[in-house]
Chains A and B, each alone.
Chain A
Amino acid sequence: MMEQRELEKRLDECIGLVVGPRLSWDPVNQAMIRHWCDAMGDENPQYTDPDFAANSVAGRVVAPPTMIQAWTMAGYTGRFPPGSKGLPAGANSHFDLLTEAGFVSVVAVNCDQEYLQPVYLGDQVSFTTMLESVSERKQTALGEGYFTNELYLFYNQHQQKLVEMRFRLLRFNPPA
């Protein structure tokens, strides 16, 4: 297993690397919005009723803001659409480094989404991720581990920023 100092040095090298952009398989569409609203029991007509939406401030249907990640999920095959980019060449993934070092378990701690622009039908959503910081090694109730803070930025086809999301995870090594 990787020595602690070596791991932390390699994790530091991951900070600030932009991963992506990763694209979406389909443009923002009414069918996926309806499916989401149906499952969530969300009857907001701004998302599904073109007549209501035409007379709203937005002037047209918008996707539920909280749905932003659904557009760019890799899906069942785990593949991102053609044209998507991953890590810069030669760079390590902090996620893989932590897994290799034995911090195999993951639990989400915080998710902070700021909605900057409406998401309209037909929008082509893409996103990038960037590791902002890694905590020191900490003893937690779940085990020993590291907190990672990642910045997700979602864009439309006009390169307007739609959503800024900060995601904090605990990667830990569960006690045997």
Chain B
Amino acid sequence: MQSLRFTDITEGQALPPLDIDVSTTLIVATALASRDYQNVHHDRDQAIELGSKDIFMNILTTNGFVGRFVTDWTGPEAVLKRVNIRLGVPNYAGDKMTLTGAVSAKRVENNECLVDIDVVGKNSLGNHVSGQVVVSVPASA
């Protein structure tokens, strides 16, 4: 598995988009993997009774996908330093979310090569998530 180097990355560079098929099974599987048993993440009847149109993805999972979106691109030698997200419309079962992003800055701090990335995750209702990720990458080969 290849990893990007600091020198491979340029400001403005776009990341490969990541499509997430937000199925009922995915919402339940990821909620349980994050040990989140809130009914709105697995029980459709209860979710509707509480005013939602279906079950929806939990926040821990959104964090997980935002992190994965970035490290799928950088490769496994990068280290996540920060995931800072703003939450928008829910990821309801049956929807699709597409994560897109681009490099907003590169900087060296305390001998670490840091890359700032702006990320947006959009579904049929609008922005589910938007935010910034900071990742540390190897300097060079």
Contacts and interface: CB of A to CB of B under 8 A. Distances in A.
A70 interface: yes
B30 A40 contact: yes
B61 A114 contact: no
B36 A73 contact: yes
B16 interface: no
Interface string B60-78: 1101111110011000110
A75 B36 CA distance: 6
Nearest to A58: B79
Contact of B77 (A57, A64, A78, A111): A57
A67 interface: yes
B46 interface: no
A39 interface: yes
Given A46-B76, A111-B59, A40 B64 contact: yes
A52 B76 contact: yes
B63 A42 contact: no
Interface residues of A, number: 36
B6 to A, nearest CB: 14
B35 A111 contact: no
A174 B50 CA distance: 11
A69 interface: yes
B82 A113 contact: yes
A56 B82 contact: no
Contacts of A159: none
A158 interface: no
Interface in A21-72: 32, 35-36, 38-42, 44-46, 52, 56-58, 64-67, 69-70
Nearest to A167: B59
Interface string B74-96: 00110111111111000000000
A32 B32 CA distance: 10
B81 A114 contact: yes
B37 A75 contact: yes
B141 interface: no
